[in-house]
Structure 1
């Protein structure tokens, strides 16, 4: 019944049908989950009780990006107006159904975190409006905040991994049908989420780029990048040492229209620009604000390039 009304994977039978809107959704979902995971992990690691600039930025980023991502996801469906049917017809053997259920739980959790983090701002600016009648809910939510944070962290991880599982179940496409993809999407989501929330925290909430939480994130981003590189290497090696079909799919890195997305977008911009700015041009450049922002933007663009490369090249080289 559900599949008759909504075609989520109709395009995979005829060339590249899941195009850039799905790639953007995969990026936004990764940013959302990655930003929230890193901010909550840092909050509990440092035993923070204040609403830090990073937490403010990450909470907003997580909610706004997943909301925008859903617009791209639903808008790209064959029948977007029938999307509601999957919300009431769950099939727990379907990756799509499990993912939609996770999103239905994750999105309200991100909204609750935004409300709790910005409680003081909300009371100050909305205290004289009819919405003030709802302020009693803050007292009910505050004791539940640790549980909300825990559930949000879990579902942020699920959402990041789900973006990889969603396309990795397609056995016809070797570049997509790999167990490495969910882990790669989680790590790259952490990378993009860390970069984007750092930019927002610094620009809008006056966080110092090289002090406090920002310094901690700056330390964490390099191991995350190293793991991302390792997973990409493992993905490539798994293809070139696999079956003839796998070896054919490995040609996606060198042949056709999409290698520039990988070598320029992922390797050059995503990895190269941050490494050059932070390690090859001296401490003055590395500690500058322009380097901070350019590195963050490059990381996000690199992850977008990765999502688009996997999506497009993966659908091009089939079994």
Structure 2
């Protein structure tokens, strides 16, 4: 049995182990990072010819394709027969959530790479390390006239990928925590929040030369709103369990010695309370100190990982 954060031998069988939880996190992170990069590009620097050089845009352009590939690699490995993965790419059932998700991923992934190459076109031509990609620069330029349309399509696909992770779990009807219409929205919002945190973190660490304080302020406000939106979503999630005939499960999910602690300390305190406190303080005092912002980003990412772990493992272990 695959374990995560200690032994799960005391619980019922875990059929969807830790690679699934990490995959769900990485897919949401990828989609969120792309959405954040596009929003910064559109809303903060649309009239600026150098908008693509904003650190938050470049960070999202890197995080998006890299994390979705890592997530898919984990998913393939977890299948147990990774060499048979290609069957998912050539056989489809439009009534299957997994097949629909594969279609979204097949469309989203190349668009994410195309967006990254459009953002880093000058670096591809300038640095030897990217020499293997140089033949593609002419191909990339051919999309220049329709770049905005590509961005719109990519944004919609990112939303679909982020929500699909919730629908994927929701297809399992016997698990109350998964089989709820709120979960796709919760995963979309938390994925968006993780994308903000990751873009800020990578942007500040690796693209200091193009760092824009206005972009950081813009993203801190967005992150604060996203996290505040997560709170009622979690409340609605558990109210739905209470009113939908899963009252005992809801009580156990909130009070279990292990998973209850994971929820209240990991999801609520670390993932919600601390980021709100740090972001609100920074916005109120205009104290955009790098250390505090980096800590805020790390706390948000940890909180989102814990949320995915809680949903995936707690949903299976507590039934």
Normalised by the size of structure 2, how large is the TM-score?
0.89
Looking at structure 1, the residues matched to 296 and 14 of structure 2 have their Cα atoms a distance apart, in angstroms, of: 31
Equivalent of 2:198, from 196, 216, 219?
196
- 1:215 is matched with 217
Task: Flag the 1:216–1:258 CA change in 2: closer, same or farther, 3 A.
Answer: same
Task: Flag the 1:267–1:121 CA change in 2: closer, same or farther, 3 A.
Answer: same
Task: Flag the 1:42–1:135 CA change in 2: closer, same or farther, 3 A.
Answer: closer
- 1:41 is matched with 39
Do the aligned residues in 1 keep the contact of 2:124 with 2:130 (CA within 8 Å)?
Answer: no
Looking at structure 2, the residues matched to 175 and 40 of structure 1 have their Cα atoms a distance apart, in angstroms, of: 32
**Residue 31, structure 1, aligned to residue 29, structure 2:** yes
- 2:309 is matched with 308
Equivalent of 2:177, from 175, 194, 197?
175
Q: What secondary structure sits across from 2:79 in the alignment?
A: coil
Task: Flag the 1:31–1:255 CA change in 2: closer, same or farther, 3 A.
Answer: same
RMSD over aligned Cα atoms:
2.3
Deviations 1:54-93 (A, max 9, x none): 1110010111111111111111113222110010001111
Task: Flag the 1:19–1:143 CA change in 2: closer, same or farther, 3 A.
Answer: same
- 2:9 is matched with none
**Residue 166, structure 1, aligned to residue 168, structure 2:** yes
Task: Flag the 1:207–1:15 CA change in 2: closer, same or farther, 3 A.
Answer: farther
Task: Flag the 1:127–1:27 CA change in 2: closer, same or farther, 3 A.
Answer: closer
Q: List gaps (5 residues or longer) in structure 2.
A: 1-11
Paired residues for 1:1-319 under 5 Å: 15-46=13-44, 47-48=46-47, 49=49, 50-51=51-52, 52-126=54-128, 129=131, 131-206=133-208, 211-243=213-245, 245-279=246-280, 286-318=287-319
Deviation of 1:126 (Å): 4.3
Q: How many residues align?
A: 304
Deviation of 1:99 (Å): 0.2
Greater shift, 37-46 or 227-236, is seen at 37-46
Looking at structure 1, the residues matched to 137 and 188 of structure 2 have their Cα atoms a distance apart, in angstroms, of: 36
Query: Structure 1 segments of 4 or more deviating over 6 A?
Result: 207-210, 280-285
Task: Flag the 1:176–1:127 CA change in 2: closer, same or farther, 3 A.
Answer: closer
Q: List gaps (5 residues or longer) in structure 1.
A: 1-13
Q: What secondary structure sits across from 1:240 in the alignment?
A: helix
Deviation of 1:210 (Å): 7.8
Looking at structure 2, the residues matched to 177 and 69 of structure 1 have their Cα atoms a distance apart, in angstroms, of: 23
Do the aligned residues in 2 keep the contact of 1:239 with 1:250 (CA within 8 Å)?
Answer: no
Looking at structure 1, the residues matched to 123 and 132 of structure 2 have their Cα atoms a distance apart, in angstroms, of: 16
Deviation of 1:127 (Å): 10
Looking at structure 2, the residues matched to 203 and 266 of structure 1 have their Cα atoms a distance apart, in angstroms, of: 26
Task: Flag the 1:132–1:310 CA change in 2: closer, same or farther, 3 A.
Answer: closer
Deviation of 1:15 (Å): 2.4
Greater shift, 247-256 or 158-167, is seen at 247-256
